[in-house]
Chains A and B, each alone.
Chain A
């Protein structure tokens, strides 16, 4: 990746450059070691200085090597220039002052005048090493690296914004457009995507490939490889080409480990470049086809509630059921199984025990906290069983088709506000039971095929629960009988 960002710079320079972050710790460690020895030594000043002279020489030499390699690394041009400037010169000063200190320790320790400067010099070197090191850290990890997880009271003392708020800003939020007529193509559609997917490496502080993308001016300016897009020509635009490359390709953007752009985002970006890459136009001023329109409507609409829906119950953290309680149920040949291996939510399925009835199922009480799905189609349960489960706190899926339950039983269920699917196929329920069904406010889908509920009852349900999906089954006739139309034989 890096080679590509820094075209024109020989590989070997960058090869050595990459040793800088590692090698730089040698002079740091040596200098600190020298200081420790110096401070804790009980010897005379002269021999104290003399004894650390070899350490200071090594410090100076390794610091010089580190500086050279740091310079190699800086050629890649991925770093904030201001910080880099300071880091570079502080580093060089440190190397030189280490050498000076070494010289002082070795040759001037007997000179009572010159040796007076040794202690302040050493202190200065200490300050330099701390400062340079900190700036180096900022260059690699970002200037907020140290303070990101700073606990709250300290943040307030330092006058920093609380972290939660900061998180909120950086968190990926789905892009929403309130008014499609008024929305601006760049600010409202393109920039939010770039912000989420590109800015982390192409911003004021970090410019991978010498590219900044955080403002239109920088977008137009391009990076180390020249301009990043040609208005009207997505196929000639590096921005588009790199996004479209295979994710395993080394030129692909965003690079490995970063979140890729979605299909929709890519399509919009291509469209934006193709239509002239305007920074100030409104979306409505730019021609779009059906495909773009579909994507745009996705951005304007609230996400449909059916998409990617998972019951909030399943996000809870709960304790696992007692194995003995599960075993009790298994004795009745019912299948008790966790919905997934991740969490202890249970499903009970009577597929192998169609003769099971209310009495045996009393054992369900033991796992009522974990029970989310109950499949008892075709069993011998009655209304009193429904009364039993009416206190189960987490039932989501209730399948009681082909049973003898009545509206009396259904009315017990009104406390089950988390039930989302209810299968009543093949029961004798009539229109009188729809009131009980309508009380299940969390219900998303109900199956009423082969019940005695009439169109009137369905209408009532539609009115009470407008979002409820009601399945009434196949109407008993195909709209067309094509099989009677002969197929024309070719000549």
Chain B
């Protein structure tokens, strides 16, 4: 009951805006002046005032301290990369059995499509014997470091809702993203960097847009900060001409003083968030250009990742992710666009375009694992790789016509993701699909299960990690999710 009342007060406080402030300015001015004598809000006294990003302990002992989520936006084909199906090759070109299609809906497939055999060559890799195709030769060399979830499934067959579901636990807008939850729960170790950073490559933001790293109903200080790997990492982070650092500092301090008064008057947590954001922005003016500059990295690191400074690429983002985690950032979200291989064009074909996309990420993602490991960071960093759903064992027949290239449609019933690092047992493969790779027959895991597992690695019980909103305690996994124990160390 108390929580509801508290929330009602907060809601009301959020309604009190500039208009309120101006109207009370007459009487408020005196107290404002007084307040500035009594309080001191310089940018390093954050701890004395409410500091929403201060590092916090996890409720339970967690093995991971940070997460790097490599999201292949568009959804990579598990049937060309990890889920080896010799039987599917045998039935290549045959009509898909009716019982697999009855009552099913696809994004583009109409009528009866033909089955499409795997277009890549598979081999068993490492001691664990994971099947990994020759599209990912570098990752294949590290097969014993990673664990696969081969029985993933989702309930959304379009990109934006599926991505939202993956990152916010809901296919609809308005929920906080996983990174926001994590920085809300754990804060950030480095007081000069945000707790949640987003990097995108592939020439396009993910279809779900900024909501995939939004803070939903959590205070907005927890939303992901998108940095660019090309040009200025954050737009307008440099002081404009004629404004030096001292002037900027003085103005921010003044703004924060006013904001603090406002907070004391109305008690709106968003004001605290705003103060923290101003402080963070100021601190980021020096810290971000430094951490986002990969030019100073030695040549062998560039060789390792395949990075080219100044360009927007997944490799650059992987290197940045490592640098950010090294600097204590909690959650780094990478999106790489261009995995939507429908077969409508050469770049979207599973035998050419997909292979090319793999080359863009294979070395860099593998280098990320190795680089984290050699710095002693992989033990405390959870790396997750995957898309928002899988791809069909059938060749796409858009509008019922045969397409010029080999492609696969969106598929919700089975896809593969891999995890490595903090809290993950290496070399495990969990979940199995049927002989055609159509649906999961054992070890079925949902998007919620994955989220519950990620939270578990960080030391949270996903059922207890909640935030009160509109009279109800919300959690990332809503009312679902079961921790996937077999892959946990």
Write the residues of chain A forming the contact surface with B, with a CB cutoff of 8 angstroms: 263, 306-310, 314, 330, 335, 337-343, 349, 351-352, 399, 401, 421, 423, 425, 445, 447, 449, 471-474, 476-480, 482-483, 487-490
Which 5 pairs, one residue from A and one from B, show the smallest C-beta to C-beta distance? Answer: A473-B374, A423-B376, A338-B57, A449-B374, A340-B61
Q: Which DSSP category, helix, strand, loop or mixed, fits chain B's interface?
A: loop
- Are A490 and B406 touching (Cβ within 8 A)? yes
> What's the Cα separation between A480 and B139 when bound, in Å?
12
A490 touches B352 (CB 8 A): yes
The answer to whether B60 and A487 touch across the interface, beta carbons within 8 angstroms, is: no
Given contacts A263-B486, A341-B59, A483-B359, A351 and B327 within 8 Å (CB-CB): yes
Taking a contact as CB atoms under 8 Å apart, the answer to whether A401 and B55 are in contact is no
- Quick one: which of B300-317 are within 8 Å of A by CB? 300, 303-304, 306
Which of B137, B362, B374, B488 is close to A471, meaning CB atoms less than 8 Å apart?
B374
Residues of B within 8 A of A476 (CB): 300, 303
A483 to B135, CA, bound (A): 11
- Residues on the A chain within 8 Å of B330, using CB: none
Among A307, A309, A352, A421, contact of B376 (Cβ-Cβ < 8 Å) = A421
Task: Bits for B340-372, please: 1 = Cβ < 8 Å to A, else 0.
Answer: 000000100101100110010011000100110
8 more contacts with CB within 8 A, not counting A306-B489, A487-B355, are: A308-B489, A351-B190, A352-B189, A471-B376, A474-B300, A474-B367, A483-B359, A490-B349
Asked if B304 and A399 make an inter-chain contact with CB atoms under 8 angstroms apart, the answer reads no
Once bound together, how far apart are the Cα atoms of A338 and B47, in whole Å? 17
Q: Within the complex, which residue of A340, A352, A421, A474 is in contact with B304, where a contact is CB–CB below 8 Å? A: A474
Closest chain-B Cβ to A44's Cβ sits at a distance in Å of 60
Are A399 and B60 neighbours in the complex by a CB distance under 8 Å? Answer: no
For residue A401, give the distance in angstroms from its CB to the closest CB of chain B.
7
Interface string of B364-388 (1 = CB under 8 A from A): 0001001101111001000000000
How near does chain B come to A353, taking the closest CB pair, in angstroms?
10
Choose among A310, A314, A335, A421 the residue with the greatest number of B CB atoms under 10 Å from its CB.
A335
Q: Contact check: which of A307, A310, A339, A425 meets B375 at CB < 8 Å?
A: A425
Q: Which of B60, B137, B489 has a CB less than 8 Å from the CB of A307? A: B489
Question: B residues within 8 Å of A by Cβ?
Answer: 47, 55-62, 137-138, 141, 189-192, 300, 303-304, 306, 327-328, 346, 349, 351-352, 355-356, 359, 362-363, 367, 370-371, 373-376, 379, 405-406, 425, 442-443, 459, 486, 488-489
- A308-B489, A340-B58, A476-B300 as given contacts; A487 in contact with B374, CB under 8 Å: no
> Are A341 and B57 in contact, with the CB atoms below 8 A?
yes
Given contacts A306-B489, A352-B191, A487-B355, contact A425 B374 (CB under 8 A): yes
**Chain B residues with CB below 8 A from A473, complex form:** 374
Is B138 a contact of A478 with CB atoms below 8 Å?
Answer: yes
C-alpha spacing A399/B488, complex, angstroms: 24
A335 cross-chain contacts in B, Cβ below 8 A: 55, 189
Please determine whether A351 and B57 come into contact, CB atoms closer than 8 angstroms: no
Q: How far apart are B303's CB and chain A's nearest CB, in angstroms?
A: 8
Contact partners of A489 in chain B: CB under 8 A: 346, 352
- Chain B residues with Cβ below 8 Å from A480 are 137
Query: How many Å lie between the Cα of A332 and that of B363 in the bound state?
Result: 40
What residues of A have a CB within 8 angstroms of the CB of B351 in the complex? 490
Contact (A478, B56) CB under 8 Å given A339-B61, A423-B376, A449-B374:
no
Report A-chain residues with C-beta under 8 Å of the C-beta of B56.
337
B349 touches A314 (CB 8 A): no
Q: By the criterion CB–CB under 8 Å, are B370 and A342 in contact?
A: no
Chain A contacts for B379, CB-based, 8 A: 421, 445
B489 and A425 contact, CB distance less than 8 A: no
Nearest CB of chain A from residue B148's CB, rounded to whole Å:
15
How many Å from the CB of B306 to the closest CB on chain A? 8
